[in-house]
A and B are shown apart, each in its own frame.
Chain A
Amino acid sequence: MTMANPKIIVVGGGLAGLSAVIKIAEAGGNVDLFSIVPVKRSHSVCAQGGINAAKNLKGEGDSTEQHFDDTVYGGDFIANQTPIKNMCDAAPGIIDLLDRMGVPFNRTPEGLLDFRRFGGTLYHRTAFAGATTGQQLLYALDEQVRRYESDGRVTKYEHWEFLSAVLDGNRVCRGICAMNLRTMEVRTFPCDALIIATGGIGAIFGKSTNSVVCTGSAQSALYQQGAYYANGEFIQVHPTSIPGEDKLRLMSESARGEGGRVWVPRTLHDKRDPRSIPEADRFYFLEEWFPKYGNLVPRDVATRAIHRIVYEEQLGIDGQPMVYLDLTHIDRHTLDRKLEGILEIYEKFVGDDPRIHPMKIFPGMHYTMGGLWVDFKQATSIPGIFAAGECEYQYHGSNRLGANSLLSCIFGGFTAGPEALKYAKNVAKTSVEVPSSVFEAERKRQMEINSRLTSSSGTENPFRIWRELGEIMTRNVTVTRYNKNLIATDAKLVELLERYRNINLSDKGAWANTSFIFTRQLYNMLQLARVITQGATRRDESRGAHYKPEFPERDDANFLKTTKAYFAPDADEPRFEWEMVDTSIIKPRPRRYDMAK
């Protein structure tokens, strides 16, 4: 029997969540959309450079097969190939749809979409709207969702935090438990299918390019409820970010796509103004080391090269961990037309005009390739729960190519929406028939966590525990990984979890208590940090963003496998399994960027 009007809940209002909502509403379904922030303020707005689709409008002979190959190769072959192929095939149609929705993409003189080059490919494949592509895409989808909201198909619950899924006796999802960020009310909401689209986990690393809400708390809560978490060890460190006190601000890959060059003075402590240093005294190390791709090598390759320059060759600018990203040779009009948004960020937050002064940049934590394990229908291992966007693991292997994330968000949402609706229509028992005791039990469990926190009278400040978490994760679990340090990190995480039990909430108020919410998220961050760290410990090879000097080669014989972590409640720690990777279309081959593929 199929149900006429199932209820779907979507958690997260970035590109993936909104894409799912639109598909469900269009098919006639009803959606409750939950978000910590008003959805128009979601982290997707921070994406800058563009979105990939092989439309081949530059006469280069690009094709979706080529896009597929670049993505699999860029991810170092550890991603399942079938969903990536589907995504690359769908990409040109997705660009057309966004164009029809009014995204102000940059244009050619003939009025067609313009495309720029991005890392990890030799083709102009990236459509863009200035340097604020993510913002423009999010707004287009936000507007469509607002339209459905006006029609009564979508109900928004903004300023609500997802706490957990409501699972019945068979561990099937029947709803969610959430908390109002103003009234602090804890409530359950029934649904027949749930889509998680809660984005990244940057806060686990303290400072990252991510937004404040990107804590990974929702993913971690589901992992602790029994969902598999896959490939957590693959963390992307973006080669070009601007170090800051509160966060690392992204300097988009599009700066290099439009001709930006990375260099350092050939001699340490060269005191000259960078503009007066002659070409012969500049070391364009990416161009020298990787002549074919030059400044547009993939992110993991560029990041390691910068680390080598700074830490091994000791050639950072003035001995500091920084290198130049130079746009000053490009004319001002072109820069303003194509890159204005990102140049403004540099100008506003650093105070120098990058049209005149070479920018000073350094790698910063940016993206998680790993995430909730999903099957090809975006379904997690808990029946009734789907996932899409950065919070799941499916499309980027061990290294994501620039401008593929917006695509994977939208494609993932477009897949998850209809699949969740199909599941909900065919579910044996609807959420309405589930006894209220199931919901009440979960609400009670969450309320108990809350009262434990408010009644705790320890000495530990949650924000300080968070800083320690971020520091050790950034030091030991990002660019270069040694097993000894990883093991020490996990021990530190156990210590932080122990100290967490002795927390002191400086604010016990019952209204709009942001530090209370943060403290809840912090616990989930600590648990997920262990998954990332232990996953990295177990993978004794180097692949994509995961680099171990002790095991410098990719090892397909032992590690061409997906890492799957699950939570062992009694031991209060992760357990691991391996899963074979779908390499049915392209046979794995060595990945190198100093020559054409």
Chain B
Amino acid sequence: MAENTVRLKIKRQDGPNAQSRWEEFEIPYKSGMNVISAMMDIAANPVTKDGKTTTPIAYDSNCLEEICGSCAMLINGKARMACSSLVKNLEQPITVEPLSKFPLVRDLAVDRNVLFENLKKVKAWVPVDGTYDLGSGPRVTPQKQEQAYPLSNCISCTICMEVCPQFNESTGFVGAATISQVALFNDHPTGAVLKEERLHALMGDGGIHECGFAQNCVESCPKGIPLTRSISRVAGQVMVQTVKDIFSR
């Protein structure tokens, strides 16, 4: 292989019901190149390594700064954000595949709406009285803010769900991202008013008890969110709530 080229092996699939296939590309290397910019170059000249004309690759992306959460995919077998996957740090040929646990849309694009539905179920919000001027919010110590801030950095990329052995159709597990949002909002002085409802939502099928503490989530999170700590805290809250429920029957 020439020093100044990049080889990519990309899994293609025209639609949810189509057959998948692999296509290989060899393109000029540019300094600072990442997996997205490589695919942009392919779009400008969609020709495979064998000289066959093909179509530009379909994938989700938006900010390219690892903050919108769009471009999660499997790169060399590992779930990660394509924008921050620098080509110079990757072994070649770079294999690129869609996330495997979400319905495929096309090529590398998948449907991750399940996360947003889960956030509805656990009421991941602060129920303010209204948007009219009601004065300042509750006082918060800097220490409290420093606890909340990392949890609020979750970009909904769903990598924690992709890598979780328990996240599959048979368990219906909600996954770490949603549980961590429960931890965030239960801790907020105003958000806590919905704490019981959130905990109840995590008790039934697919709830927090499905977690097998494989710890893959915390190791794969691109934002370094302490997901297992969130899960432990919420698991404790669920246990206390279960006891409370027994005595209030």
Contact = CB atoms under 8 A, between A and B. Distances in A.
Interface of A: 22-23, 26, 37-38, 40-43, 45-46, 93, 96-97, 99-102, 104-113, 129-130, 132, 135-136, 139-140, 143-144, 146-147, 149-150, 158, 182, 211-213, 243-247, 249-250, 337, 341, 345, 348-351, 414, 461, 463-464, 467, 506-507, 509, 511-515
B37 A96 contact: no
Interface in B60-111: 60-70, 83-84, 86, 105-106, 109
19 contacts: A93-B133, A96-B135, A99-B137, A107-B140, A107-B141, A111-B139, A135-B67, A140-B126, A143-B124, A182-B106, A245-B33, A245-B37, A246-B36, A349-B65, A461-B45, A506-B54, A511-B15, A513-B58, A515-B43
Contacts of A22: 131
A245 B139 contact: no
- Sorted nearest first, the 10 A-B pairs with minimum C-beta distance are A99-B137, A111-B139, A246-B37, A143-B125, A507-B55, A512-B106, A102-B126, A245-B37, A463-B44, A41-B68
Contacts of B14: 509, 511
B51 to A, nearest CB: 15
Interface stretch (B144-152, B167-175, B207-215, B235-243): B144-152
Contacts of A150: 120, 123
B105 to A, nearest CB: 5
Contacts of A139: 152
A327 B193 CA distance: 42
B137 A143 contact: no
Given A37-B68, A246-B64, A349 B126 contact: no
B: interface residue count bin = 35 or more
B68 A45 contact: yes
B116 interface: yes
A37 B61 CA distance: 9
A507 B53 CA distance: 10
B69 A40 contact: yes
B126 A101 contact: yes
B116 A144 contact: no
Chain B interface, DSSP helix/strand/loop, else mixed = loop
B229 interface: no
A149 B116 CA distance: 11
Nearest to B62: A211
Contact of A147 (B55, B127, B130): B127
B70 A37 contact: yes
Nearest to B88: A351
A272 to B, nearest CB: 23
Most chain B CB within 10 A, of A41, A129, A130, A350, is at A41
B66 A345 contact: yes
A328 B219 CA distance: 29
Contacts of B68: 37, 41-43, 45-46, 211
Nearest to A210: B63
A341 B150 CA distance: 10
A515 B155 CA distance: 26
A504 to B, nearest CB: 10
A109 B190 CA distance: 20
Nearest to A55: B136
Contacts of A511: 14-15, 106
B44 A467 contact: yes
A244 B43 contact: no
A515 B55 contact: yes
B25 interface: no
A316 to B, nearest CB: 17
Contacts of A467: 44
Contacts of A247: 64-65
A506 B116 contact: no
Given A38-B113, A146-B125, 4 more contacts: A42-B62, A107-B144, A245-B32, A463-B43
A111 B36 CA distance: 42
B196 to A, nearest CB: 17
Contact of B62 (A37, A149, A509, A515): A37
A506 B64 CA distance: 24
A26 B185 contact: no
B30 interface: yes
Contacts of B156: 38, 40-41
A45 B154 CA distance: 12
Contact of B64 (A136, A140, A212, A461): A212
Given A143-B124, A511-B14, A108 B45 contact: no
Contact of A146 (B37, B113, B119, B142): B119
A345 B15 CA distance: 34
B140 A111 contact: yes
Nearest to A109: B142
B188 interface: yes
Contact of A132 (B125, B128, B153): B153
B231 to A, nearest CB: 20
B58 A512 contact: yes
A133 B74 CA distance: 29
A151 B128 CA distance: 15
Given A100-B190, A104-B145, A107-B142, A38 B40 contact: no
A461 B153 contact: no
B40 A463 contact: yes
Interface string B11-24: 00011000000000
Given A246-B36, A463-B44, A213 B62 contact: yes
Given A212-B61, A512-B15, A108 B134 contact: no
A106 B142 contact: yes
Contacts of B61: 212
Contact of B188 (A102, A147, A158): A102
Contacts of A26: 130-131
Nearest to A345: B65
B133 A348 contact: no
Interface string B152-189: 11011000000000000000000000000000010010
Nearest to B55: A507
Contact of A102 (B53, B59, B131, B190): B190
Contacts of B15: 511-512
Contacts of B83: 246
Contacts of A105: 145
B184 to A, nearest CB: 8
Nearest to A96: B136
Contact of B105 (A102, A211, A512): A512
Contact of A104 (B109, B125, B148): B148
A22 B123 CA distance: 16
Nearest to A505: B55
Contact of B44 (A143, A211, A464): A464
B149 A104 contact: yes
B161 to A, nearest CB: 15
B228 interface: no
A37 B60 CA distance: 9
B125 A45 contact: no
B80 to A, nearest CB: 11
A463 B56 contact: yes
Contact of A249 (B65, B136, B145): B65
A559 B21 CA distance: 60
B134 A100 contact: yes
Contact of A96 (B30, B134, B148): B134
